[in-house]
Amino acid sequence: MNIEVEPRSYLSEFIKDSSNGKILKVSLEDNAKILDVLKIIGIPQEKIHLIIINNMVSSIDSSLKDGDKVIFYPLLMGG
């Protein structure tokens, strides 16, 4: 399956080739999970504080399907 992944805020520092913008196109095995995505794009799990899949706040165990749009946010707790 193919999904789109957008690391937001300072997680975009992990995108090495930003020639195609801030959204990454990622190809995965059919039963892949969020952890597999993180391995492929090279962001350590502990940097992730919020996971959004298709406009729904999701968890690290959430399933993925073809065409999903995934957004990651780092810790954001300033006031």
Q: Note the residues at the interface with other proteins (CB under 8 A).
A: 8-10, 45-52, 55-57, 59-60, 73-79
Minimum separation from the CB atom of position 28 to other proteins (A): 20
Minimum separation from the CB atom of position 8 to other proteins (A): 7
- Which one, 33 or 73, has the nearer CB to other proteins? 73
Instruction: In whole angstroms, give the CA distance from residue 59 to residue 79.
Output: 25
Minimum separation from the CB atom of position 32 to other proteins (A): 18
- Which one, 30 or 46, has the nearer CB to other proteins? 46
Instruction: In whole angstroms, give the CA distance from residue 70 to residue 43.
Output: 14
Residue 50's alpha-carbon distances to 7, 17, 30, 31, 46, in angstroms, are 10, 23, 23, 21, 11
